[in-house]
Structure 1
Amino acid sequence: MNFESLNVPRAEYPRPQWVRPDWINLNGQWGFEIDHGKSGKERGYPESGHDLSGTITVPFCPESKLSGVENKDFMAAVWYKREFSLPDNWTGGRIILHFGAVDYETEVWVNGVAVGTHRGGYSSFSFDITAAILPGVNIITVYAEDDVRSGRQPRGKQSERFHSHGCDYTRTTGIWQTVWLEQVPEAYLSNMKLVADPDNACVHMELQIGGNAAEATISASASYEGRTVGEVSVVVTGSSVKIKLPLSEVHLWEVGNARLYDLQLTLHKQGQVSDSVSSYFGLRTVRLDGMAFRINGKSVFQRLVLDQGFYPEGIYTAPSDEDLRKDIEISMGLGFNGARLHEKMFEPRYLYWADKLGYLVWGEHANWGLDICTAEGLSQFLPEWIEGMERDFNHPALIGWCPFNETWDRDGAKQNNDVLRITYEVTKRMDPTRPVIDTSGNFHVVTDIFDIHDYDQNPETFKERYEPMKSGGEVFVTFPDRQKYEGQPYFISEYGGIWWNPEQKDEQSWGYGDRPTSEEAFIKRYEGLTNVLLDHPMMFGFCYTQLYDVEQEVNGLYTYDRKPKFNPDTIRQINTRKAAIED
């Protein structure tokens, strides 16, 4: 079987902050089969000679229309298989097989040889498959198990019922991001952690090296708009090296003005170039100052919108790279300057466009569905959260972490506070440069920011709730028996969710509160609620629910197929008024 095709979906390079020229996109037609009994291993599916009964278009999940399968029922396990051949010039070095994301537990074989396993439906992973490669045609086999009803895996907004319902939607099983091959030398640059330091006109980098790089050197060169603005070389003494790269020009990355530097990293060994990687970075700082959230020292009111990362035909996967960019442009056109990336780790290409467009984002995991009432939940959650943080750390657009969202009790059992506390502490140790919200909305244990969710639809009672704070009075806390405000910056990270669906008559559709009777009534309510937060001197931002409808949840400012429900200029005028807390 040979599934090579010129029409490769999602053909763009999947990892824009770590680019090498030699790679092969493996998206397109694969063999596919659903394994309800999880018996495929016993039946010899990993063997090279075993063909699968159907086909699927990768990287789209089998639930989606774009996959060509469109099976909406639960699938206990799925299998994928395809052939590939390496270019003639891929001689020597290592061959790395990359997966953007596979939901949920994955096992991979190459030519019938097991090459690795991974647990987690949202983080990226890779395997060195050099030892399993044969001359000529090779065969990859992928097996994925998925059970969103188990309580043992983060599912996000994937429905635990057969049908979508409430704010849970169509599931995603198996491969849902790009699969690709990369050639690297025997000694190569494997990873980078970069911290911007504009106050000292430099960036600090920690580089990881794969293979034996003894007596090698690494050179780093930064350029801005084609001008070289910084160069440095260091000697490699181990598997990692720290570099300070001074910059002769300081250009700040700002909201709506994404000044980015190009970065070239080169590994030299025995006087020869062993490896070379292209990247980029932005210079910006974030810090909390009293009630203000400061970016580059300036109080920036965060006009955020909830983005859940769903697409009508691709479910979790955007049909094209342009669709990722378009969602950000839609949001910015409405006067928002950022988003909570909600109950999902978004793919690196989305974060790339946020970096390029100067759009603020908060990183969040898909914790719903995971039982964290015992410490066992930590083992299911933390490894994948760490992988996601390591992958996304270098994006300047990402200005805060929120590992959990609304950690509700499960079957009468309360959350294990140590799960949240340990996750918060690990997050802060891995990244002391960004604020961390332990669990958005409830129930806070230890957090840099105290945020709540408030879907009151009456602007007057909404305002009254927060008035005492202005004069040092009582601070409103949802669930006061479960969480305590301790003077942190305060944030309404979900509000609105106004139900508006004149074109959608589905009885299952819903939004928050009562439906406005007219478009004028919607705008009046939207403006009233938003003004309360803009006018409050102790609010550093808001997050409106939500950017676009998702299936039956029809409280978006755009429809699910990304058509505006209202005049975007009207929404923009409301959102962009100067906030009380801004400098």
Structure 2
Amino acid sequence: MSELTSPATGTRLHPRPQLTRERWDDLCGVWGFAHDDDDRGLDERWFEREDVFDQSITVPFPPESRASGLRATGYHPVVWYRRTVEVSPEDHTGRVLLHFGAVDYRAQVWVNGRLVAEHEGGHTPFTADLTSVLVPGETQVIVVRAEDDPHDLAQPRGKQDWEETPHAIWYHRTTGIWQPVWLEIVPRTHIQTLRWTPDVDRGRLSLVVRLNKASRQPLRVRVRLSIRGTRLADDTYALEGQEVRREVELDPVRYRAGRKDLLWGPRRPNLIDARITLLDDDDNVLDEVGSYTALRSVGVRDGRFQLNGSAYYLRLVLAQNYWPESHLAAPSEDALRREVELVKSLGFNGVRIHQKVEDPRFLYWCDRLGLLVWGEMANAYVFTTEAQRRLTREWLEVLERDYNHPCIVTWVPVNESWGVPDLEGDPAQRAFVRGLYELTKALDPTRPAIGNDGWELVEGDILGVHDYALDGDTLRERYHSAEALEQTLKTVQPSRRNFYLAGHHRRGEPVMLTEFGGLSHAPSESERWWGYGTLPDTDALLARYEDLVSAVLDSPVIAGFCYTQLTDTEQETNGLLRGDRTPKLDPERVREVTSRVSRAVQHDVLQEIHALADERRLAQLRAQGQEEAVAED
């Protein structure tokens, strides 16, 4: 195996940045490929054959994309991949693991003709242990079958179109392998997962280290934490069984003195580097992984989103994270970093990833560069028992995979009423959304969650409103005061849908415009285009963007926004950037508009000033013994 490095040691970004080992073998590149439109491959045992693989594909790009070398955009519900790898004899002393970042939608994997893995879910990772099927001294053959039925609307598909040609707001499909594939050699007993939970108030990090299996001998786990080369902790814990749970306490004096330099946020994305070592009783190293975490808290209180205990105004942009040449797959590692940099350059402090579960390497750059993320699930389009089962199971895998990323600050399992089209009339659909919300909160109580975002609210810590009003005056009328806000939500119905369902009672949740704008700059007459509102030229587009965003920022009751959208995507031409990521508008001007101080923030500051003044006055009155005046105040 080649020795490609993890982020901790240098040149390549590990496909799984929060659990890295120095030795891993990148299997992206050219694979053999075959369409199986008649679904004959299983019966004909293609996993044992080479002759049927009559095409080549560049992994991890989907076959529908140009980057794959195929651009096969028709209906191909079953596809097969094949490649060979060499595994050196010394690698047989440990476990040989084959990792897939994501295969859309249903995958089966064979090695040397033997089935080693099956997985369902197009956005989440899975691993196959190849150790028992490797043939010493031989070239190892990997075969993958991926099934992605474009007509199966119970499949969580996000914005992948079920029609052959993309229409309205749906795009070309992403079938099969679309995230990295890699091999990794690990010890027979090894670290399988890490779970970090920060405690900002106490200056601690909760850590769960789980092994692949329980050990019969006593083991110890050494945890080393540092930030910018300075050591924060170096502790060792006994491990009995399969996992150890411990609280890692940072030096209290250093934490109090340098709290700002330790907390994570968009302006100061302070990451804590971690090295986790598995030791035996004789201090022999059995396994070692690199990771990182951060001290960061998020929540909601008093109608505001909270970051590290203080009110924080969210300026998000809707991100489809779709590339013309590679679809849901990023065209390169550099493109993932560049996407984060582009968002920040336009004045936004976060993204709402829309109908997609992003590549962990994108989340890594959000962690590293300081960009907030709303994590969302790709939804199905029908409400059936099978659709519920599929979405729930995959959502659980999403929560597990991405729990450790400090950039993720909110979970959204359902967009609007996608997959639950009769929320008002069907109690089962409401129960499903409520159940997803409660399940999310049970598995991750550290972040806000929204059961469904946009309209027909069932349950959520934040009230996300989708309002595509086309002018600022309308937005000002709807959101200029608390009374106007309530009137809007109860009777105006911004998306021509009821926002509140019967029986809903406000609990002081923050209200955010989580979709608005959607302005399109009409391309030439020969091109297809789509948008919520169309402007004739870039000057008009910039003026309308300023009009809409300024109206939202003028509201004292809106706690944050998400503008639709970052980039043009297929026929959707309502991006601030074109599909190739070139700007339509002057980025500096967009940044000025986006980052202007909101009236809600000013309102919060004034309230704090008034509260302090009131406290001082009460203290003075008490000191003077004026109890009646105190009671009046």
2:174 counterpart residue number: 172
What's the counterpart of residue 420 of structure 1? 433
Give secondary structure in 2 for the equivalent of 1:69.
Answer: coil
Aligned to 2:577: 558
Residue 257 of structure 1: SS of its match in structure 2? coil
Query: Does the aligned pair in 2 maintain the 1:263–1:281 contact within 8 Å?
Result: yes
Is residue 2:33 matched to residue 1:13?
A: no
3-state SS of the aligned residue for 1:428?
helix
1:26 matched to 2:44? The reply is: no
Asked if 1:495 corresponds to 2:516, the answer is yes
1:74-473 → structure 2 map (5 Å cutoff): 74-135=75-136, 136-213=138-215, 214-248=217-251, 249-250=254-255, 251-271=262-282, 272-367=284-379, 369-372=380-383, 374-408=384-418, 416-469=429-482
Q: Deviations over 1:386-439 (max 9, x none)?
A: 111111110111101001112247787857112211111111011000000111
Q: How does 1:47-86 map to 2 (within 5 A)?
A: 47=48, 51-86=52-87
Superimposed CA distance per residue, residues 141-165 of structure 1 (whole angstroms, 9 cap, x where no aligned partner):
1001101321221111111111111
Residues 51 and 480 of structure 1, relative CA distance in 2, 3 Å threshold: closer
2: CA distance, partners of 1:148 / 1:579:
44
1:509 has 2:529 as partner: yes
CA distance in 2, matches of 1:576, 1:537: 16
AA paired with 1:288? V
Contact kept? 2:462, 2:512, Cα under 8 Å:
yes
Report deviation, 1:481: 7.5
Gaps of 5+ in 2: 5-10, 256-261, 606-633
CA distance in 2, matches of 1:439, 1:229: 40
Is the Cα contact below 8 Å between 1:493 and 1:544 reproduced in 2? yes
Q: Distance in 2 between matches of 1:471 and 1:123?
A: 42
Query: Is the contact between residue 231 and residue 245 of structure 1 (CA under 8 Å) also seen in structure 2?
Result: no
* Distance in 2 separating the partners of 1:99 and 1:408: 28
1:517 Cα shift?
3.2
1:480 maps to what in 2?
A: 498
Identity over the aligned pairs, expressed in percent? 38
In structure 2, what residue type is equivalent to 1:511?
A: G
1:568 corresponds to 2:587:
yes
Give the aligned residue type for 2:186: V
CA contact (8 A) 1:511 1:553 kept: yes
Do the aligned partners of 1:33 and 1:80 also contact (CA within 8 Å) in 2?
A: yes
Q: Tell me the secondary structure at the aligned position of residue 553 of structure 1.
A: coil
Output the CA distance in 2 between the equivalents of 1:97 and 1:506: 46
Distance 1:225 1:482 in 2: 48
> Secondary structure at 2:440's aligned position in 1?
helix
SS at match of 1:304: strand
- Structure with bigger RCO (C-alpha 8 Å, 6+ apart): 1
Aligned counterpart in structure 1 of residue 596 of structure 2, from 565, 577, 580? 577
Q: Is the 8 A contact 1:549 1:557 kept in 2?
A: yes
Alpha-carbon RMSD:
2.0
Cα 1:11/1:284, change in 2 over 3 Å: closer
Sort the Cα spacing of 1:357 and 1:407 in 2 relative to 1 into closer, same or farther, 3 A: same
TM norm structure 1: 0.94
Cα distance in 1 between the residues matched to 2:485 and 2:567: 37
Change (3 A) 1:384 1:65: same
What SS does structure 2 have at the residue aligned with 1:91? helix
Residues 516 and 563 of structure 2 are in contact (CA less than 8 Å); yes or no, is this contact kept in structure 1?
yes
* Partner Cα distance (1:577, 1:411) in 2: 37
CA contact under 8 A between 1:186 and 1:212: conserved in structure 2?
no
Q: Secondary structure at the match of 2:470?
A: coil
1:244/1:102 CA distance change after superposition, 3 Å: same
SS at match of 1:486: coil
In 2, are the aligned partners of 1:110 and 1:141 still within 8 Å (CA)? yes
| Superimposed CA distance per residue, residues 200-229 of structure 1 (whole angstroms, 9 cap, x where no aligned partner) | 111001111113424111110101111211
Letter in 1 for 2:314: Q
Q: Which moved more, 1:471-480 or 1:548-557?
A: 471-480
User: In structure 2, how many angstroms separate the alpha carbons of the residues matched to 1:573 and 1:275?
Assistant: 49
* Cα distance in 1 between the residues matched to 2:555 and 2:505: 18
Residue pair 1:219, 1:233 contacting (<8 A) in 2 also = yes
TM-score (norm 2): 0.87
> Structure 2 counterpart of 1:525, which letter?
R
SS at match of 2:91: coil
Structure 1 unmatched ranges of 5 or more: none
Deviations 1:266-299 (A, max 9, x none): 1112321111000111111111011111111222
Question: Residues 332-385 of structure 1, C-alpha deviation per residue, up to 9 Å, x if partnerless?
Answer: 111011100000000000000000011000100110x3422x444221101111
Hey, what does 2:41 align to over in structure 1?
40
Q: Following TM superposition, by how much is the alpha carbon of 1:329 offset from its aligned partner in structure 2, in angstroms?
A: 0.9
What amino acid is aligned across from residue 327 of structure 2 in structure 1?
I
Q: Structure 1 stretch 79-88 or stretch 404-413: which is displaced more?
A: 404-413
**SS of structure 1 residue aligned to 2:580:** coil
Matches of 1:87 and 1:440, distance apart in 2: 51
Structure of greater Rg: 2
Letter in 1 for 2:263: L
How far is 1:501 from its partner? Answer: 3.2
